[in-house]
Amino acid sequence: MNTPDSALQRILCIGGGPAGLYFALLMKRRDPSLTVTVVERNRPFDTFGWGVVLSDQTLGNLRAADPESATLIGEAFNHWDDIEVFYKGGRVRSGGHGFCGIGRKKLLNILQDRCLELGVDLVFETDVADDQALAAQYNADLVIASDGLNSRIRTRYADTFQPDIDTRECRFVWLGTKKTFDAFTFDFVQTEHGWFQAHAYKFDGETSTFIVETPEAVWKAHGIDQMEQAEGVAFCEKLFADRLEGHALISNAQHLRGSANWIRFPRVICKTWVHRIEVAGRQIPIVLMGDSAHTAHFSIGSGTKLALEDAIDLANEFTRHANADVTEVLSGYEARRSVEVLKIQNAARNSTEWFENVDRYTGMEVEQFAYSLLTRSQRISHENLRLRDPAWLEGYESWLEAQADPAPGRPKPDQPLDPARTGTLPRPGAATRAAAERGGSHPAPPMLLPLTVRGLTLKNRIVVSPMAQYSAVDGAVGDYHLVHLGARALGGAALVMVEMTSPTPEGRITPGCPGLWNDVQQAAFERIVHFTHSSHAHIGIQLGHSGPKGSTQLGWERIDEPLESGNWPVISASAVPYGPQNQVPRAVTRVDMDALTAAFVESTHRAAAAGFDWLEMHAAHGYLLSAFICPLTNQRTDEYGGTLANRCRYPLEVFTAMRAAWPAERPMSVRISAHDWAPGGNTPDDAVEMARLFKAAGCDVIDVSSGQTTRQAKPVYGRMYQTPFADRVRNEAGILTMAVGAIQEADHANSIIAAGRADLCAVARPHLADPAWTLHEAAKLQTRALQWPRQYESGRDQLYRETARLQALNNNDKP
């Protein structure tokens, strides 16, 4: 007969790593009457790791959970604030990062001693083959499965836990050295086959961890897969000789043969963390904890952190709900903790991919390469770096400003760098002195740097993204658009983009969308262009054809749903509807293609005549040109279907014709969907190839969006969630990019521009809520720097003058 599991008396932890030991001591500390047992297969002093890293924040969590063990851990820690990056003969060092290193063996011994002090039963040298038998032996009410990365328990109950294990691309080996590093050190070395990187940090007074990592293809090209362990270690010693300074590398995994000590990191995600087994007529919960439940790549040092904080969280949950039954406690723990873990795993994924693709960033100078490395996870932002090391960041901003294209008549500042390129960026005071000599005290924030594209110089890096307003009449924009676009032009952005505008009546998305096929429409746009230019902003237009997503209702009605009456026929690459409720489009013929190309060219001429500064071709979001590119919507068997090159053929024909019709000195961009977010669709790999094709055809900028090509898409949203796609396109295809998607504050834009992930930031919803978003964000930055170099005719100066001008207008004063 089953009994309720509300009475918790006996806890069994299977696995004596950080998660199992720490949870055991926390629960015993909370309630000494509990019987808590930890069963571990190794001996007390066995461990196969070197040092582990914890942040200052995690140390604070340990102090709150158990001050006694936290004190012992703190006394054994080696603390450092600096990160040092060696790359291509250069070196960058920044501070304020707040990390601690401790030997894994030392950490486990402290936790073991604390467990014994509190009365936890520790059972060593016991290999658990049957968790159910062990639970019965100890009459457990709760089983913690803390049996590590290769968890037998997770495997046994995989139908419940549903683990998703993704084996990553790089090979890495975990070594040690008696060379002690005074900073967390990253060393990047290029070989004839590719890049290796070392992650090194001191964890006690005489020893450092030294992790070597490289893509598997590079590892195999050097024949390391065929080497014995000693040979592989010797290879690494020679490769990183400059950093090791004569010290040897040490392996503590001599039991492994050949190259088995080089592994690929397995990213583990489990759908659920709790399973129930029946033991002696009782339902006993088994809970995954630590690496058995999840892993996070070592490059953000979070494996041990996650394990310890899992233990803290579950122990706290028992404390908060002392009278609740175990089922309720575990449910709350899993619901809350799984979200926190996912955030860290998302950051770890970004970090992992950065290290897997070091070659992507090797066109950068060491200064930007280091900044990109520091912000790789997207958890550390520009202003967060300022809090950590303001002098270093100011030096980097000065360097970045020196690289920016000067506005007409503006001299380029002197390089604030050591010409020998063996030192760090300017340290305290140097950047301030350099700026003071130019008439100011601080460098410009990255988002306010100018950018020149062909013959157009943008005063800053902020673009008002094209956003459908559904307010045109017969394709003609009116007073609403003058106010909508004009307000945002006054709001400080460098470039204001008009929403997707169709070259034909049938190419509109809805009856309220604009077009550019007649004189009335052209004249209406000329009025808006003239006003925008008078406000010291530039304006662009996005031309596109709705294709299979046309003839739908206005955005505030039922978006993407067919009109209830008055539908017009729609066309596409193939007869594939956007969704089951949408019209089945007619597949375009060669005659249709020629006519549509001619229409795009006519609209391009009209846009140039209207005075637009920038032209963008819309080839994303499932519209006509996107429908050719997406393999889910292009089922053609002619030369316009099949391979990606064939699928891009017609969009490239249209682009080439538009580029020829558009003035040579004016920039032209293409918006793409970099990821279809659906099985069988385009991926970021395809996006890089698309960008290369458009770059070869004369495209200046790729506007990198994603999704909306099929109703089956399942995007993963989040802060700046599309920026990694812009990063890939920019740094692999070698073309300027515009990032878009959940960029909501200046800190986001500054981080993106400074890291070289994109060259422009298109901001949509924040500009809807606040037409002067750019000015307001610039004003926030101005609180940090009240004076700027006076002689620069730069974007920031214009912004601050425009702020005063806008205030004067609001006060009915003469500007």
Catalytic residue set:
623
As a whole number of angstroms, the distance between CA 263 and CA 106 comes to 24
* Residue of 347, 341, 342, 359 whose CA lies nearest to 170: 359
| Nearby residues of 541 by Cβ (< 8 Å), 6 or more positions away | 497, 498, 501, 516, 525, 607, 610, 612, 614, 615, 616
Measured in degrees and rounded to the nearest 5, phi and psi for residue 670 equal: -130, 130
Token pair 């270690």: residue: 233
Encoding tokens for residue 286?
A: 């088994």
Please give the DSSP secondary-structure letter assigned to residue 93.
E
Encoding tokens for residue 457?
A: 């110089």
Q: What is the per-residue DSSP string for 456-521? A: EEESSSEEE--------BTTB--HHHHHHHHHHHHTT-SEEEEEEEBSSGGG-SSTTS-B-SSHHH
For the chain, the first-to-last Cα distance in angstroms comes to 84
* Residue of 536, 666, 675, 543 whose CA lies nearest to 601: 543
Give the three-class secondary structure for 448: helix
* Paired residues of 515 in beta bridges: 502
Encoding tokens for residue 562?
A: 């067919």
As a whole number of angstroms, the distance between CA 647 and CA 629 comes to 5
Give the three-class secondary structure for 678: coil
* Paired residues of 294 in beta bridges: 269
- Chain centroid to Cα 583, Å, comes to 37
As a whole number of angstroms, the distance between CA 69 and CA 490 comes to 58
- Chain centroid to Cα 63, Å, comes to 31
What is the H or E stretch that residue 668 is in?
strand 668-673
As a whole number of angstroms, the distance between CA 458 and CA 493 comes to 9
Q: What is the per-residue DSSP string for 263-328? A: EEEEEEEES--EEEEEETTEEEEEEE-GGGTB---GGGT-HHHHHHHHHHHHHHHHHHTTTS-HHH
Give the three-class secondary structure for 669: strand
As a whole number of angstroms, the distance between CA 488 and CA 497 comes to 10
AA identity, residue 78 = N
| Nearby residues of 197 by Cβ (< 8 Å), 6 or more positions away | 186, 187, 188, 189, 212, 213, 214, 355, 358
Encoding tokens for residue 296?
A: 């996070």
As a whole number of angstroms, the distance between CA 54 and CA 539 comes to 49
As a whole number of angstroms, the distance between CA 530 and CA 527 comes to 5
Measured in degrees and rounded to the nearest 5, phi and psi for residue 9 equal: -120, -35
Strands, sheet with 99-103, edge to edge from the N-terminal-most edge strand = 51-55, 99-103, 78-80
3-state DSSP of 107-125: HHHHHHHHHHHHCCEEECC
As a whole number of angstroms, the distance between CA 393 and CA 381 comes to 11
